[in-house]
Amino acid sequence: MAVEAVVSVVIQKVTDLLIQESKIFDKVVDQVEDIRLELRQMRGFLTDAEELPKDEKDAKKWVGKYLNTLYKLEDMVESYVLKLVHKKMKDSTITACWKLRRKLKHIEDEIKALNKSRPHNIEDASLRKLSFHIEQKQQNLDNLSDKNLSTGSSSRTKRMLSGVCEEDDSDYIGFKDYENSLKSRLTEKDGVRIDVVGRLGSGKTTLVKRIYNCKSIKEQFVCHAWLDVSEEHKLKDLLLKVWNQVNKKRDNELTLLSDGELRDKLCEFLRGKKCLIILDDARKQPDACRELIEALSLQNMNEYKVVVLNIDESRDGNAKLIELQPLEENESWELFLRSLRNEEGICDISGNASLRDQIVKKCQGLPLNIVLLGGFLSTKKMNSAELTRVFSQANWKNTDVWLLSYADLPAHHKLCLLYLTLFPKEFDLSVRRILRLWLAEGFLQRSSGLGEDLAEKCFDDLVRRNLIKISKFRSDGGPKKCRLPGFQHEQLSPKAEEIRLFHIHQMSSEQTQPPSNKNNKNPMETSPAEPSKPPSDKNNKNPMETSPAEPSILRVRRIVAYADITDNDFDSDFQNLRSYFSFNCTRYDTPAKGVGNFLRRIIGSRGFGLLRVLDLEGVYKPILPTTLKYLFQLRYLGLRWTFLDNLPESVGDLPYLETLDLKRTYINNLPSSVWKLKHLRHLNLPQVRLDMRIQQPSKKLLTLWGIIIDDGCNMENGLGQLNDLRELGITCCQLTRYEDLLKWITSQTHLQSLSLTSKDESGCPSRLELENLSQLHKITHLKLLGKLNRLLNNSEFPPYIRVLTLSVSNLNDDPMRVLSQLKYLSVLRLLAESYCGQKMQCPENGFVNLRVLKLWMLNNLEEWVVELGGMPNIKELEIRSCQQLKELPNKFLERTTLKELILTNMPKDFVEKVGNSKFEHTILQTNHYEFTPLPIIAKIVISAPASSIDLAALLVLSPSIGEYHWRLRHISCTLPLLKQPE
């Protein structure tokens, strides 16, 4: 089935490339159509061959040859188009066309020969496919209609406006007793080890992760570590993983220590600290896990707890046991109904007793099976009779639920799902990032409409089927991070390996693991655990060794590097590389030269110009070669969290670049040619001044975030040429002519997220002009930082706004009267000096949909009143540094909807009063942050020779916007001396 997905995607990519060069390829379109027809006819046979046992060597070899032919076809056409981009085609167009036709004829002959040589035991799987009343042809699944596309997009919008995307407990039924038991045992003084056991899919990880992330448990333990154990782990690996999660300071010399030295160092650090350690899937390396527990047991046994997750009952005799049993029938049915996302057109089967019995029996009381089956049936539009007929089929009864769900996916969606396995197990992945990567790889068919909408629809489909899980939500309820659950990761990884989707270049045993992003110190966030060490290749010298296809034929398509690739590792199989990912982020004091060396080495290799993705997110200051411009097919350049100081000029010469992500870097100048990249769609910057010389930037831009403009900005021929923006983040520096800017902003009718900041020459907030934004119907997120003369009235705000942030607005009139009338508003952040008055009053029945309210550094606020019926759905309230506030609104704590109350840097008597009045339904969290006073640099004296160079950046502290933020100010000077005047 994985090869079937490759067939569909290769067909689509080849077709797309031919369409792009339609004038040149007119002569070969019919030939390509013949190849497409041959490939379509063989997909069912390929699926059947993959499902045969591994000992069917002839069938597996045949599949491998077919896969090789597919990749040859893809390489041939893309290489040909690459030559056209290079403009190095020596032959005439007609001659070149005939050459391509001859090559395509050779591929067509190969495919026909493979079809004839098909082993006799391979059948057409499509002929015995499960029938769901109206059986759709596979090509209809692959070619999603515009109607479906628009439906998916509007469905997401509808859910966002209704708040349905918010995290729920739909997969958490029947666990309450286990949860209470585990919490109780974690708080007991005696005992160290707690074993949580149960069948595969019984919900062990779900249960323990919920407890691990519980704030009341977090507060009991000073240190926390979650370890996903793999078969490759040794004791030292586990010790390092614990160290990287419990210690904020990274020590790069730890890898040089022996096991005993590292154990002693870790134990010394943990001595006297309460620590919670989770060992997930300990069965994969029981000896190393036992040694880890024994090593920690040498210290104070009452200071830490270790929770061990296993699928069997083998356990330490002294451990306390929590054994998860299959759900009862009524619990299974309740969980199934919750996971069955009953949308329009999907039948209601809650009252069908016969179906209920069959479904409960099929799932065997295992939550994993139940939610997968519910997600699977959520995509079907059938009545009860049709479902009953399907459930009675023999192949239904003998099919694994997970396999059934995976097999039902459209081919393009299968490859998108498999793609997630190139990230470490339990890795929290930005939804933004994965959607852009899918598009850059060419996995999704781009018909009419935006590819981003299609990627979003694919993501929604995988979430609806419960194949991927949203691991972190935005405050407004939208998805922010997602994760491929551990079970799915283990099931899909072999399938990805079979088609050689990617190759893992493993670090040596002496090197440390990719660290976790604890407290946002490390950009590669993987809550609650750090990235797991992926299975290592048994023979790194031949990355194709484990392929079911012929090892000498297939070349590596994608590399996932956990260590530098040296010349000794370099292989000719890399020459047709499509993607390069680096997770080599173990050092944060030395620029990553290895990345640059590898890129320079391989750019000179034939075929490397086919690279589409270069993702270095989190790698510290990778050295990028000046020859980057030769990556003509590059679609995605991810440099977020790399802290780079500069960018090669040649980046502006990448003709097909779609995503350039420079957020969280120190880059403050862009090559002017970047603005002219015709295919650029997403540009994320770290606050970069707009080049005044730009003329006609890419009209395909959808995201423009982090630019600075002033009066010198060319609005008419610059920003004025952009009409399709969805996300805009802009800082106005000493801007006096707001009229042109506001006129342009209000013309962006597709805009969904807008951030406007105004600053003076010293970087301090300044006057921010606004006018009616009501015509921006698609905006859901609005952030305003700057001094407002007045607040917009409720009819001037975007009508569907959900998230509003005000900072340094200096409003004298109470904003609550106006904002309370925004009926879709779910998140309101009133940050530092946004309101300067002494009293704030929420009117009766106001803020009907508000769920999150943050009040930060409102220095004059003394009284806050919420009238009857106000904020009826509030769930989270955070008050920070409002020193004059006397008390919370009357009976505010009695609201059963209020789940979380966070008080930061509030007066002691205020905190005590709230604590004494708090009800059980609300979790109270108190914080106190200490800030070391730092002077704002008013003047810098520079001693330097007359000939100056471009230095980089000065860090200027700006504490007036709610938090202490470091701001970059660019200067031109030279070392050797930078000093403050005496």
Domain map (residue ranges) of the chain: 1-143, 176-323, 505-689, 941-979
- Transcribe 700-717 into DSSP letters: T--EEEEEEE-TT--TTT
pLDDT value for 566: 66
Query: Residue 643 to residues 183, 588, 660, 686, 705: CA-CA distances in angstroms?
Result: 41, 10, 15, 10, 17
The mean pLDDT value for 328-347 works out to 78
pLDDT value for 101: 80
Alpha helices in 420-450 (DSSP H): 431-441
- Among the ranges given (562-576, 593-607, 741-755), the one the predictor scored with the smallest mean pLDDT: 562-576
Whether residue 519 is predicted with pLDDT greater than 70 in this model: the reply is no
pLDDT value for 867: 94
Whether residue 949 is predicted with pLDDT greater than 60 in this model: the reply is no
Task: Quickly state the pLDDT bin for 952 (edges 50, 70, 90).
Answer: very low
In this prediction, what percent of the chain has a pLDDT beyond 70? 75
- Among the ranges given (448-457, 499-508, 525-534, 606-615), the one the predictor scored with the smallest mean pLDDT: 525-534
Whether residue 441 is predicted with pLDDT greater than 90 in this model: the reply is yes
Task: Quickly state the pLDDT bin for 348 (edges 50, 70, 90).
Answer: low
The winner for highest mean pLDDT among 55-59, 371-375, 594-598 is 371-375
Higher pLDDT pick, 95 / 266? 266
Whether residue 395 is predicted with pLDDT greater than 90 in this model: the reply is no
pLDDT value for 500: 87
- Among the ranges given (98-112, 489-503, 870-884), the one the predictor scored with the smallest mean pLDDT: 98-112
Q: Is the dihedral of CA 179, 182, 185, 186 positive or negative?
A: negative
For 402-428, write each residue's pLDDT tens digit.
888 898 898 889 999 999 999 988 889
The answer to whether the CB of 237 falls within 8 A of the CB of 531 is: no
Burial 853-887 (b: 16+ CB within 10 A, else e): bbbbbbeebeebebbeebbeebbbbbbbbbeebee
The mean pLDDT value for 827-841 works out to 97
The mean pLDDT value for 617-630 works out to 88
Higher pLDDT pick, 558 / 160? 558
- DSSP label of 345: T
**Token pair in block for residue 212:** 């691990």
**Token pair in block for residue 103:** 């090559």
Whether residue 437 is predicted with pLDDT greater than 50 in this model: the reply is yes
- Among the ranges given (55-64, 172-181, 868-877, 936-945), the one the predictor scored with the smallest mean pLDDT: 936-945
The winner for highest mean pLDDT among 166-170, 344-348, 651-655 is 651-655
pLDDT value for 384: 74
Tokens 């100048």 label which residue? 669
Identity (one letter) of the amino acid at 748? Q
The answer to whether the CB of 844 falls within 8 A of the CB of 867 is: yes
The mean pLDDT value for 109-131 works out to 70
Whether residue 780 is predicted with pLDDT greater than 50 in this model: the reply is yes
Nearest of 157, 189, 618 to residue 424 by alpha carbon: 618
The mean pLDDT value for 24-38 works out to 74
Sheet harboring 429-430: ordered strands across? 429-430, 479-483, 469-473
pLDDT value for 563: 76
For 260-308, write each residue's pLDDT tens digit.
899 888 888 888 888 999 999 898 888 899 888 888 776 554 567 888 8
- Among the ranges given (627-641, 666-680, 790-804, 931-945), the one the predictor scored with the smallest mean pLDDT: 931-945
pLDDT value for 270: 86
In this prediction, what percent of the chain has a pLDDT beyond 90? 34
Average pLDDT over the chain, rounded to an integer = 79
The winner for highest mean pLDDT among 332-336, 551-555, 855-859 is 855-859
The mean pLDDT value for 911-936 works out to 77
Tokens 């089929």 label which residue? 393
Whether residue 969 is predicted with pLDDT greater than 50 in this model: the reply is no
Higher pLDDT pick, 591 / 370? 370
Tell me phi and psi for residue 630, to 5 degrees.
Answer: -80, -5
> Which residues have CB under 8 Å from 915's CB, separation 6+?
924, 926
Q: How far is CA 331 from the centre of its chain?
A: 32
Higher pLDDT pick, 859 / 37? 859
For 520-539, write each residue's pLDDT tens digit.
333 334 333 344 444 444 33
Architecture of the domain delimited by 505-689: Alpha-Beta Horseshoe (3.80)
- Among the ranges given (88-92, 320-324, 392-396, 776-780), the one the predictor scored with the smallest mean pLDDT: 88-92
The strand pairing partners of 754, in sequence order, are 728, 782
In 168-222, which ranges are E strands?
193-197
pLDDT value for 527: 37
Task: Quickly state the pLDDT bin for 864 (edges 50, 70, 90).
Answer: very high
For 717-759, write each residue's pLDDT tens digit.
778 888 999 999 999 998 888 888 999 999 999 999 999 999 9
d(C-alpha 451, C-alpha 673), whole Å? 25
Q: Which CATH code fits 176-323?
A: 3.40.50.300
Whether residue 713 is predicted with pLDDT greater than 90 in this model: the reply is no
The mean pLDDT value for 371-377 works out to 89
Task: Quickly state the pLDDT bin for 59 (edges 50, 70, 90).
Answer: confident
pLDDT value for 452: 93
